[in-house]
Structure 1
Amino acid sequence: MKLSTRVSALTPSTTLAITAKAKELRAQGHDVIGLGAGEPDFNTPQHIIDAAVQSMNEGHTKYTPAGGLAELKQSIIEKFKNDQDITYQPNEIIVCTGAKHALYTLFQVLLDEGDEVVIPTPYWVSYPEQVKLAGGNPVYIEGKESNDFKITPEQVEAAVSEKTKAIIINSPSNPTGSLYSAEELQKLGDVCLKHDLLIVSDEIYEKLIYGDAKHVSIAQLSNKLKEQTIIINGVSKSHSMTGWRIGYAAGNAEIVKAMTNLASHSTSNPTSLAQYGAIAAYDGTQEPVETMRQAFEERLNKVYEQLINIPGFSCVKPKGAFYLFPNVKEAAEKTGYSNVDEFVKALLDEEKVALVPGSGFGAPDNVRLSYATSLELIEEALTRVERFVKSKVNA
């Protein structure tokens, strides 16, 4: 049977390929350390679990409105008011089955065949695939390592054509952990306003910020930028609720209405009990969020120094998220591998450490490793990586 052209054109996930290989080795009895996790290693806070259980016991197990419970929308509205001082109305919010589904639905209602979306590299692996599935064309601009992987207004200006419909801004970034300042966002926003580009602002890691850095949403900088921005967010990373699948989009009411109509024909509604859990996440204590953030910051500070001392590794220290994204091109060359993908494959085979090659993020000289796992495991993994590199260089 012939599959559809749109699905056949999808790029296989390098992340899933490495994960599958790591699982295969574990099944054979090998001591594999996987640093590919895109989720916190903390359990969901107990008060959220309790709220979901209570909702089931109270009979809230039926269909909900396609765009999400009114109570949850109100919790999201209050969150925006408290965190960014942005005011939204219920008809400007849609709750989806995860932030990924919010993005997918947005591109489906936004793009026609041949429309272009500007995507900075390195990018989260699903951005270009979702654009392509909606008939659009990704247009890549390089966030240079020398600029903390961030793009400039001049790059955006040069990338815009008459077909450009939108631009994606991910701050803090997956995979780099880079964070845009208010001044940087304002300058990017000015270019977007000039060319009437919709700004898709992915803020899923906004609660995981380190040092004296601050998260700024481009939508909070002016009313014009708010009107031009769709914010994508959710509770997966901030409240360790990845499996609950609750994300949302906030922005233009017409776009949100179209997204809601599409969702009504695809998912019917986000899972009812997960929505009640999300209400508790936003309305309840935020202490677990801060506890988790502090743990990640402690891990980052400890393992960063170990990482940059590995021969051939260099790394911009991230300001957010829970990933390190070192450039390992020199290490790959020194150890005799033709590219970083081959280096990563050999590392998994010989030292049983699973990293994610940067080629899947549009940055083939880098690897992504997550510190959303125990400090002991990360330190052991980096010890193995250093041993691997030194053994090859000294051979």
Structure 2
Amino acid sequence: MLRISRRLMSTVSKTNPAGLHNPYFTIKHGSKDVWSLINETAAAAQEELGKPIVNLGQGFFSYNPPDFALQAVNETIQTPQYNQYAHAKGNPNLLNQLSKFYTEHLGRPVPKEEIQVTTGANEGMFSIFFGFLEPEDEVIVFEPFFDQYIPNVEMTGAKVKYVQLNYPAKLDKENVTGDDWQVDWEGLKAAITPKTKIIVINTPHNPIGKVFNEEELYKIGKLCIENNLILVSDEVYENLYYGPSFPRPATLKSLPELSERTLTVGSAGKSFAATGWRVGWVQGPASLIQYVAAAHTRICFSTPAPLQQAVSEAFIAASENGYFEKTRQEYLKKYEIFTKVFEELDLPYTKADGGYFLLVNLSKVNIPESYVFPEDILGRGTEDFKLAYWLIKEIGVVGIPPTEFLVPSHRKGNGLEKCLRFAVCKDNSVLEDAVERLRKLKDYF
């Protein structure tokens, strides 16, 4: 499909070099992506109000990485060898630490040959797709989805097939858990065709906060084995889970052979509050990792060397000082602070099993009918965009409209239209400020 489109375009673009673009990038002039739209709205509101807006929109941290990670950066940046190209596979010291980390968490020896360091988890996903997909192949993605998956797949010429994590109707009136967001199992089976190569899961899930349980992983894994598919498990929030354990497809005792076809994606940015460092990785069987490595080498060759070394040293420190467990406890406190206002106002939400987002149902909020919205907001055609805009302008809190994580044809009338996603990866004082502002919502019930 991609090749045909390029040929067709070449016949009509002889005097227009811009017409030679990749057909995936069909840019609608004047339209804005959700991140630009929400952030520009927040910036304008802040200027109008003359005081800061509480930004709980995008999942970036309001605070620095831990001191031991910052110290590692300061030291490695002074060392000549870490200011030059790192090996395409990754800094050997980081590979060693990741080998130890996964050996502990997967319960078996994980050699360095099973790991590829990438320039952020997103480039890791991109490398997987370019390593395995051809035009006309198919990839199954659960909806709602992290929005980067879709262009990453489509740029290879492959097609995305969508399977629902069904919106739980009771979220309209009461709190739910991740388990209440159930897989459309019949839809999943029907989505698999001879062209299917990959199923993608995200656990803990953005934007829901769901952690896929062992029964769900078993059923998905069984379909992968029966149909000779690769399972890509995006586990960037793997160190932020709030149950007694974190089920991983690569560790299922009930289906050990699944590990032979699972590629696990991780992120230093999420683990060490350093999203701007852009250090991620992919772990999986060496027979699969070799193709991820080949794609990575051609996409960006090498990930920033000083930051790789800093992450390797951060892993050492974290294993000695209990950092990940302390961080989980800190996040439980953040959720306790932030959910208090929704409990007070009886606004239902999905209890986060992991990650750092909270999905809240705000259907009780009545925006005045006379309220004026800009065309950029009205043009999105869904109520959650109006809600997000109004919340910024009138309450001073930024949330993300979650219908952005659905395909356009599934947005209107979906339960997510009543919701907003908030990021709690902020200082406690920021969350407390948000709580005070959100209490004003009771005036609009």
Secondary structure at the aligned position of 1:174 is classed as: coil
Q: In the TM superposition, what is the alpha-carbon distance from 1:335 to its structure 2 partner?
A: 5.4
Pick from 247, 263, 272: which aligns with 1:230? 263
* Residue pairs, 1:209-228, within 5 angstroms: 209-210=241-242, 212-221=243-252, 222-228=255-261
Pick from 392, 399, 404: which aligns with 1:348? 392
| 1:276 maps to 2:309 | yes
Secondary structure at the aligned position of 2:25 is classed as: helix
Larger Rg: 2
* Residue pairs, 1:195-344, within 5 angstroms: 195-210=227-242, 212-221=243-252, 222-286=255-319, 287-310=322-345, 313-328=347-362, 330-331=363-364, 336=369, 339-344=383-388
Q: In the TM superposition, what is the alpha-carbon distance from 1:233 to its structure 2 partner?
A: 0.5
Cα separation, 2, equivalents of 1:208 and 1:195: 32
Conserved 8 A contact 2:72-2:314 = no
Pick from 15, 38, 55: which aligns with 2:76? 55
Pick from 217, 221, 224: which aligns with 1:185? 217
Deviations 1:194-231 (A, max 9, x none): 11221000111111112x44211101114410111000
Deviations 1:44-78 (A, max 9, x none): 22222222333333312111211212221121111
Q: In the TM superposition, what is the alpha-carbon distance from 1:99 to its structure 2 partner?
A: 0.6
Letter in 2 for 1:175: P
Letter in 2 for 1:83: H
Secondary structure at the aligned position of 1:257 is classed as: helix
Deviating runs (4+, > 4 A) in structure 1?
Answer: 9-12, 332-338
Pick from 6, 20, 32: which aligns with 2:40? 20
Pick from 87, 93, 96: which aligns with 1:71? 93
Secondary structure at the aligned position of 2:299 is classed as: coil
Cα separation, 2, equivalents of 1:374 and 1:89: 37
Matching residue of 1:391: 443
Cα separation, 2, equivalents of 1:77 and 1:151: 32
Matching residue of 2:14: none
Conserved 8 A contact 2:45-2:53 = yes
Cα separation, 2, equivalents of 1:204 and 1:182: 18
Q: TM-score, normalised by structure 2?
A: 0.81
Conserved 8 A contact 1:124-1:361 = yes
Residues 334, 57 of structure 1: alpha-carbon distance in 2 compared, 3 angstrom cutoff: closer
Q: In the TM superposition, what is the alpha-carbon distance from 1:8 to its structure 2 partner?
A: 2.1
Gaps of 5+ in 2: 1-17, 169-178, 372-381, 407-415
Matching residue of 1:6: 24
Q: In the TM superposition, what is the alpha-carbon distance from 1:41 to its structure 2 partner?
A: 3.4
Conserved 8 A contact 1:173-1:320 = yes
Conserved 8 A contact 2:164-2:184 = no
Q: In the TM superposition, what is the alpha-carbon distance from 1:347 to its structure 2 partner?
A: 1.6
Secondary structure at the aligned position of 1:285 is classed as: helix
Matching residue of 2:124: 102
Conserved 8 A contact 1:92-1:251 = yes
Letter in 2 for 1:391: D
Aligned residues: 389
The alignment yields a C-alpha RMSD, in angstroms, of 2.4
Pick from 36, 44, 50: which aligns with 2:65? 44
Cα separation, 2, equivalents of 1:86 and 1:327: 42
Conserved 8 A contact 2:221-2:249 = yes
| 1:162 maps to 2:194 | yes
Q: In the TM superposition, what is the alpha-carbon distance from 1:17 to its structure 2 partner?
A: 2.0
Letter in 1 for 2:429: E
Letter in 2 for 1:22: A
| 1:364 maps to 2:364 | no
Q: In the TM superposition, what is the alpha-carbon distance from 1:123 to its structure 2 partner?
A: 1.3
Conserved 8 A contact 2:124-2:296 = no
Q: TM-score, normalised by structure 1?
A: 0.90
Conserved 8 A contact 1:315-1:326 = yes
Residues 85, 41 of structure 1: alpha-carbon distance in 2 compared, 3 angstrom cutoff: farther
Cα separation, 2, equivalents of 1:134 and 1:86: 34
Residues 150, 89 of structure 1: alpha-carbon distance in 2 compared, 3 angstrom cutoff: farther
Percentage of identical aligned residues: 24
Cα separation, 2, equivalents of 1:69 and 1:323: 31
Conserved 8 A contact 1:227-1:251 = yes
Residues 86, 139 of structure 1: alpha-carbon distance in 2 compared, 3 angstrom cutoff: farther
Secondary structure at the aligned position of 1:232 is classed as: strand
Residues 377, 50 of structure 1: alpha-carbon distance in 2 compared, 3 angstrom cutoff: closer
Matching residue of 1:83: 105
Q: In the TM superposition, what is the alpha-carbon distance from 1:91 to its structure 2 partner?
A: 2.4
Letter in 1 for 2:328: R
Cα separation, 2, equivalents of 1:189 and 1:261: 26
Q: In the TM superposition, what is the alpha-carbon distance from 1:152 to its structure 2 partner?
A: 5.1
Cα separation, 2, equivalents of 1:232 and 1:16: 27
Cα separation, 1, equivalents of 2:366 and 2:136: 39
Deviations 1:287-307 (A, max 9, x none): 333333212101212322422
Letter in 1 for 2:353: K
Gaps of 5+ in 1: none
Conserved 8 A contact 1:202-1:233 = yes
Q: In the TM superposition, what is the alpha-carbon distance from 1:333 to its structure 2 partner?
A: 6.0
Deviates more, 1:227-236 or 1:278-287: 278-287
Residues 170, 255 of structure 1: alpha-carbon distance in 2 compared, 3 angstrom cutoff: same
